[in-house]
Structure 1
């Protein structure tokens, strides 16, 4: 039988690991809150630890300094974006038409969970630093490979099925056009959060897509069966 002291040691290690992860996440969330409230430049180690209620040494212990913490914070924000997106995509049938996956991307991007004042302030603050920091740019780029790849493959399936001339080029144009419109919606929300209408924003994007692919989209979204 295992020694009781060994069990206590394992439990102790487990509790310490949980505490380390909790402290790590607390620092990341405090950083994102500070960036949202006062901006990137004014977010200092002092403001972060005051918000987190932890010691300055914790930042060095978990992140090797402020730069490492900022990198971890923007990656965490990106992970939350994709968690919401993948959760919506999981509700789309594996055999679903590609336009249904595109609709899921649009509705996720414009959802209250993702498009809210806190997130918008965070992302625009980080993007202000993206030019100087590759580590930040890689997680805040509207041409992110995961998002762009997901849209491109869906549009490519549509264009190939329609026997369009140069389907890859049409798919690329549709991908960049969709991302550009979504980016414009975020900018509009940043400036006019109280007047922003999510349903109208979705309708505008679907109007653009229905003009390109009338058999696959209408003003309400994806046409489940284009035949």
Structure 2
């Protein structure tokens, strides 16, 4: 019996979180009222207070859920990547620009939460371009690349590559938000990899294909 109650509890929580995200995607946060949420979830008003203590906590939980879903997908992709740091960077870039991640619903939700970030610090951590978790993944990969390449000012090069990559990806999300019908995913990836190939020509090609290694340090020089 206890197991069944816990299952129902979790189902109700997920229904409320899903209702918030659906409403935010379609109407924005300002129009995501308690009435809207319970109508979409098919639950009573009291369920919000029972499971979350109020609407604000529910919205925060929805922002957290959206962020975790992004990282769960990213971790799944990274499990299919090779061991090299450049393969991990490529997988992150292509995953971030994929239709599964970069779509109208996800972009609408992310920018809606981001609009609340200034006034709601609890939400800010889930919509920050300087998100430590994503930044750490990318920076660790670039740190390995600059060590392998013997790049002068290795820490500065890894930092700049990280910041530049994140800035370009955010720009692509903004472009998709404003021009979804004209957005070209391959063109977006090519722009990011053009930047990376300019910084690390021995590790990245313009098309985003990882350069095959020849010996310990040698690399194929053709794109």
The interval holding the TM-score normalised by the smaller chain is: over 0.9
* 1:107-126 deviations in Å (ceiling 9; x for gaps): 11111111000010000000
Relative contact order higher in (CA < 8 Å, ≥ 6 apart): 1
Alignment of 1:14-29 (within 5 A): 14-29=3-18
1:71 aligns with 2:37: no
Residue 129 of structure 2 corresponds to which residue in structure 1? 142
Are the aligned partners of 1:203 and 1:220 in contact in 2 as well (CA < 8 Å)?
A: yes
2:56, 2:95 → 1: CA distance?
A: 30
Report how far residue 220 of structure 1 moved.
2.2
1:34 aligns with 2:5: no
Report how far residue 134 of structure 1 moved.
1.0
Equivalent in 166, 189, 206 of residue 193 of structure 2: 206
Moved over 4 A (4+): none
1:120, 1:191 → 2: CA distance?
A: 10
Are the aligned partners of 1:100 and 1:224 in contact in 2 as well (CA < 8 Å)?
A: no
Report how far residue 135 of structure 1 moved.
0.8
1:59, 1:104 → 2: CA distance?
A: 38
Matched residue SS, 2:125 = helix
1:40, 1:29 → 2: CA distance?
A: 14
Are the aligned partners of 1:97 and 1:225 in contact in 2 as well (CA < 8 Å)?
A: no
Report how far residue 205 of structure 1 moved.
0.5
How many residues are treated as equivalent by the alignment?
214
Residue 155 of structure 2 corresponds to which residue in structure 1? 168
Unaligned runs of 5+ in 1: 1-11
Query: Structure 1 length as normaliser, TM-score?
Result: 0.92
Are the aligned partners of 1:210 and 1:217 in contact in 2 as well (CA < 8 Å)?
A: yes
2:69, 2:209 → 1: CA distance?
A: 25
Name the structure where helix makes up a greater proportion of residues. 1
Residue 76 of structure 2 corresponds to which residue in structure 1? 87
Are the aligned partners of 1:99 and 1:223 in contact in 2 as well (CA < 8 Å)?
A: yes
Report how far residue 27 of structure 1 moved.
0.2
CA RMSD of aligned residues (A): 0.9
Report how far residue 225 of structure 1 moved.
3.0
Residue 50 of structure 2 corresponds to which residue in structure 1? 61
